[in-house]
């Protein structure tokens, strides 16, 4: 059934058992993003004083896709330097905007490859990207630019 | 006469399609209704045979188009019990109709600080934001009725008082399905000299609505929720009020005469229909009204009551499902919002869609209503004259699947 592509076991696992969830101190930048069409919300905090993302914390309300995506983001970007994070961010955004045509690289995206199926559901791409866009904003407020990605059109 | 739902369904071409390999189960009519062949054909015929601009051409096509457009106005007027077709203003949608009243009536009443506008906590955003903006422009104060746990308007004896100038509430909630008994509100508002607007977007398509019985001063509704096309909405207003209200949008068709130094305005409804109106859409809406009349609004309402009773009973038996709004069919329509324990509505909707069951998920443009019930979003199944008990069963089976995936 076509939903198998969307609700991968990895996504459901991250949704039911999120990693790194909860807002933590200290932090250097925070952003709150809302998806106005569905009301999903997320707050992301980053601690980046040392030049790397020593902590990324988040809290939110939303569907399995948006919440699992936040958990995967935490796994992938915590402890990374700005340029490493920018590369992974770029790869995830490209995957989501690829309409299912982009082959994900597991070495770069780890559990994030489970979101490849989401790209085939245009209505859900925004859900998956919500935490990533909030992260980008939070990082910018902490003085770290991770926006090497082309402009987000989703 | 028994209501023959199979015969009704045969009139709706879209109902025979499949979605994701399953027969379409369309449970999103509160969002937009499907169109019968009669409406589609009427619009096609108009465009193929009678297309011309209205109210300005001496040629035959223009005359035919004008006559078709005005015929539709007459049909819509009769449909809601208006005695004068000129009390029907065609707009783009309900939202524009409410904005029209907020602007023009707000200006006519010269609202000022100290004046009050009353709405409710169960309104669609389109019956909240125009009034918030009006309050910002004039300094008036916005107040509202609360909502009870059972999804009814909470009585409040002091809310409507001598400071109240406008009361605008929903006739049937697009989220809770509640049909508000507005008679007390209308009587109280008129007692203190306030005017009443009703958002009838969800009621006019589903039950007999008569503006004389309702007693309100304005009602808004929209074509696409009552088997008609998108792009056309309706404002009904008492002629005596429309005739003293200033224009909303300005341009062609709404004028009496224009000089470089000033303009005088046409009487209603033309005063409020600036620019080329939705002509083919009006024809489609007229055909929709004919279709509804042929079946009878009483019979349609009864069918939906039966479906709603069946759905309430069926969903009550699905573990983990919580219904928002009245739990019995009395005083409610066929719009049923619910939550599935531990599963976000987006995920519910996605799994149902994979089974061909189309429901709406999200905040339904009524965020305060969701907040009132402590949830960010809901899943909503909404019914119409073509809904069957088999489709309710398909919904219940889909919810079992939801629990399997997220169990």
**In whole angstroms, what is the distance from residue B387 CA to residue B6 CA?**
10
Residue A4 has pLDDT above 80, yes or no: no
Between B344, B346, B354, which is nearest A1 by CB? B354
B91 closest CA partner among B241, B236, B257: B236
**What mean pLDDT comes out for the span A86-112?**
90
B341 touches A: beta carbon within 8 Å: no
**In whole angstroms, what is the distance from residue B328 CA to residue B330 CA?**
6
Let me know if residue A45 belongs to a domain. Answer: yes
DSSP-derived secondary structure letter, B179: B
A65 closest CA partner among A28, A103, A10, A110: A10
Cβ proximity of A49 and A74 under 8 Å: no
3-state secondary structure A89-136: HHHHHHHHCCCCCCCCCHHHHHHHHHHHHHHHCHHHHHHHHHHHHHHH
- With CB atoms and an 8 Å threshold, state whether B376 touches A127: no
Helix axis angle for B279-295 and B37-45, nearest 10°, is 150
B366 touches A: beta carbon within 8 Å: no
Cis-peptide, bond into residue B269, ω within 30° of zero: yes
**What mean pLDDT comes out for the span A48-56?**
90
Length of chain B: 407
Q: What does pTM read for this prediction?
A: 0.92
| DSSP H helices in B128-199 | 129-138, 183-191
pLDDT tier at B1, thresholds 50, 70, 90 = low
- With CB atoms and an 8 Å threshold, state whether A39 touches B406: no
- What pLDDT, in 10s, does the model give residues B168-227? 999 999 999 999 999 999 999 999 999 999 999 999 999 999 999 999 999 999 999 999
Contacts of B168 (CB under 8 A, 6+ apart): B98, B101, B117, B118, B119, B123, B127, B131, B196, B197, B198, B199
* Phi, psi (deg, nearest 5) at residue A14: -65, -35
- With CB atoms and an 8 Å threshold, state whether A2 touches B354: yes
**What mean pLDDT comes out for the span B72-83?**
98
From A35-39, B56-60, B135-139, the region with the lowest mean pLDDT: A35-39
B326 closest CA partner among B305, B351, B342: B305
Q: How many CB atoms lie within 10 A of CB B210?
A: 12
Q: How many CB atoms lie within 10 A of CB B240?
A: 9
From A140-144, B46-50, B146-150, B206-210, the region with the lowest mean pLDDT: A140-144
Let me know if residue A99 belongs to a domain. Answer: yes
* Tokens, residue B95: 């939202």
B368 touches A: beta carbon within 8 Å: no
**In whole angstroms, what is the distance from residue A147 CA to residue A135 CA?**
10
Q: What share of chain A is helix, strand, coil (3-state, %, to 5)?
A: 50, 15, 35
- CA-based nearest residue in chain A for residue B346: A63
Which residues from B are below 8 Å from A60, CB to CB? none
pLDDT tier at A149, thresholds 50, 70, 90 = very low
pLDDT at B2: 77
Whether B365 is catalytic is yes
CA dihedral sign of residues A74, A76, A82, A87 = negative
Mutate one of A63, A67, A69, A70 to test the B interface: name it (highest B CB count within 10 A).
A63
How far separated are the first and last CA of chain B, in Å rounded? 45
- With CB atoms and an 8 Å threshold, state whether B350 touches A12: no
pLDDT at A150: 47
User: Which structural domain range is residue A73 located in?
Assistant: 2-141
Contacts of B322 (CB under 8 A, 6+ apart): B338, B339, B341
B363 to chain A, closest Cα gap in Å = 6
Let me know if residue A114 belongs to a domain. Answer: yes
B217 closest CA partner among B165, B153, B267: B165
Q: How many CB atoms lie within 10 A of CB B258?
A: 11
Which residues from A are below 8 Å from B365, CB to CB? none
Let me know if residue A95 belongs to a domain. Answer: yes
Long-range contacts of B312-315 (CB under 8 A, 24+ apart): B312/B336, B314/B392, B314/B393, B314/B395, B314/B396, B315/B395, B315/B396, B315/B399
Let me know if residue A154 belongs to a domain. Answer: no
- CA-based nearest residue in chain B for residue A34: B376
* Tokens, residue B240: 């005596």
**In whole angstroms, what is the distance from residue A44 CA to residue A25 CA?**
12
CB-neighbour burial class of residue A31 (10 A; exposed 0-12, middle 13-18, buried 19+): buried
Let me know if residue A146 belongs to a domain. Answer: no
Q: How many CB atoms lie within 10 A of CB A23?
A: 13
Adjacent-strand bridge partners of B196: B167
**In whole angstroms, what is the distance from residue A150 CA to residue B42 CA?**
47
Q: How many CB atoms lie within 10 A of CB B147?
A: 22
- With CB atoms and an 8 Å threshold, state whether B376 touches A41: yes
Between B343, B346, B405, which is nearest A127 by CB? B346
- CA-based nearest residue in chain B for residue A41: B376
Cβ proximity of A22 and A74 under 8 Å: no
- What pLDDT, in 10s, does the model give residues B321-371? 999 999 999 999 999 999 999 999 999 999 999 999 999 998 889 999 999
Contacts of B158 (CB under 8 A, 6+ apart): none
- What pLDDT, in 10s, does the model give residues B309-318? 999 999 999 9
Between A2, A39, A65, which is nearest B363 by CB? A39
Let me know if residue A125 belongs to a domain. Answer: yes
How far separated are the first and last CA of chain A, in Å rounded? 26
Q: What is the CATH number of the domain that holds A64?
A: 3.90.1010.10
Run of H or E including B91: strand B88-91
Between B361, B362, B405, which is nearest A7 by CB? B405
Residue A151 has pLDDT above 60, yes or no: no
B324 to chain A, closest Cα gap in Å = 18
**What mean pLDDT comes out for the span B260-278?**
96
B345 touches A: beta carbon within 8 Å: yes
Domains and CATH numbers, chain B: 5-30+296-406 (3.90.1150.10), 40-293 (3.40.640.10)
- With CB atoms and an 8 Å threshold, state whether B370 touches A41: no
pLDDT tier at B145, thresholds 50, 70, 90 = very high
pLDDT at A152: 46
CA distances (Å), B174 to each of B204, B210, B379, in order? 12, 20, 12
A22 to chain B, closest Cα gap in Å = 18
Which residues from B are below 8 Å from A67, CB to CB? 344
* Phi, psi (deg, nearest 5) at residue B360: -100, 140
Chain-centroid distance of CA B199 in Å reads 7
- Counting one residue from A and one from B, how many pairs have CB atoms under 8 Å apart? 50
B363 touches A: beta carbon within 8 Å: yes
Adjacent-strand bridge partners of B368: none
Mutate one of B340, B346, B360, B363 to test the A interface: name it (highest A CB count within 10 A).
B346
- With CB atoms and an 8 Å threshold, state whether A38 touches B363: yes
A→B contacts (Cβ < 8 Å), by residue, are 1-3, 6-7, 12, 37-41, 61-65, 67, 121, 124, 127
Let me know if residue A148 belongs to a domain. Answer: no
How many domains is chain A partitioned into structurally? 1
Between B20, B350, B367, which is nearest A39 by CB? B367
Average pLDDT, chain B: 96
């Amino acid at each position: 059934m076509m939903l198998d592509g969307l609700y991968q076991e990895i996504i459901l696992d991250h949704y039911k058992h999120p990693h790194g969830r909860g807002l933590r101190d200290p932090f250097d930048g925070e952003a709150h993003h809302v998806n106005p069409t569905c009301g999903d919300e997320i707050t992301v905090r980053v601690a980046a004083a040392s030049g790397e993302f020593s902590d990324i914390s988040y809290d939110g309300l939303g569907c399995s896709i948006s919440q699992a995506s936040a958990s995967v983001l935490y796994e992938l970007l915590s402890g990374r330097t700005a340029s490493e994070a920018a590369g992974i961010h770029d790869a995830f955004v490209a995957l989501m905007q690829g309409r299912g045509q982009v082959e994900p690289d597991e070495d770069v995206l780890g559990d994030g490859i489970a979101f490849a199926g989401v790209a085939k559901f245009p209505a859900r791409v925004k859900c998956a990207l919500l935490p990533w866009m909030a992260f980008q904003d939070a990082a910018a407020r902490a003085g770290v630019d991770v926006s090497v990605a082309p402009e987000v059109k989703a | 006469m028994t209501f023959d739902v199979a015969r009704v369904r045969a009139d709706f071409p879209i109902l025979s399609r499949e979605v994701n390999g399953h027969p379409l189960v369309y449970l999103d009519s509160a969002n937009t209704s499907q169109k019968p062949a009669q409406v589609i054909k009427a619009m096609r015929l108009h465009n193929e045979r009678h297309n011309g601009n209205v109210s300005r051409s001496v040629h035959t096509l223009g005359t035919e188009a004008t006559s078709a457009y005005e015929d539709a106005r007459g049909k819509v007027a009769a449909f809601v019990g208006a005695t004068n077709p000129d009390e029907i203003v065609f707009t783009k949608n309900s939202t524009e109709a409410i904005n029209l009243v907020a602007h023009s009536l707000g200006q006519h009443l010269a609202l000022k600080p100290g004046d009050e506008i009353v709405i409710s906590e169960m309104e669609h955003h389109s019956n909240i934001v125009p009034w918030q903006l009006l309050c910002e422009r004039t300094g008036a104060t916005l107040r509202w009725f609360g909502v009870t746990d059972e999804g009814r308007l909470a009585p409040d004896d002091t809310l409507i008082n001598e400071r109240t100038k406008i009361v605008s509430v929903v006739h049937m909630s697009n989220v809770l399905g509640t049909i508000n008994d507005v008679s007390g509100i209308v009587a109280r508002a008129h007692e203190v000299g306030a005017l009443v607007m009703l958002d009838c977007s969800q009621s006019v398509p589903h039950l007999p609505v008569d503006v004389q019985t309702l007693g309100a001063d304005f009602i808004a509704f929209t074509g696409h929720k009552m088997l008609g096309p998108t792009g056309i909405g309706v404002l009904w207003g008492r002629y005596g009020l429309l005739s003293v209200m200033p224009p909303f949008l300005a341009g062609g068709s709404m004028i009496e005469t224009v000089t470089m130094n000033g303009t005088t305005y046409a009487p209603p409804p033309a005063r409020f229909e600036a620019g080329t109106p939705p002509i083919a859409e009006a024809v489609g809406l007229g055909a929709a009204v004919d279709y509804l009349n042929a079946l009878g609004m009483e019979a349609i309402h009864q069918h939906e009551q039966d479906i709603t009773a069946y759905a309430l009973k069926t969903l009550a038996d699905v573990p983990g499902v919580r219904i928002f709004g009245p739990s019995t069919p009395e005083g409610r329509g066929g719009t049923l919002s619910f939550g599935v324990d531990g599963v976000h509505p987006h995920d519910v909707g996605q799994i149902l869609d994979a089974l061909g069951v189309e429901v709406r998920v999200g905040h339904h443009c009524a965020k305060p209503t969701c907040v009132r019930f402590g949830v960010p979003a809901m899943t909503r199944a909404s019914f119409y004259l073509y809904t069957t008990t088999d489709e309710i069963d398909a919904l219940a089976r889909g919810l079992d699947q939801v629990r399997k995936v997220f169990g």
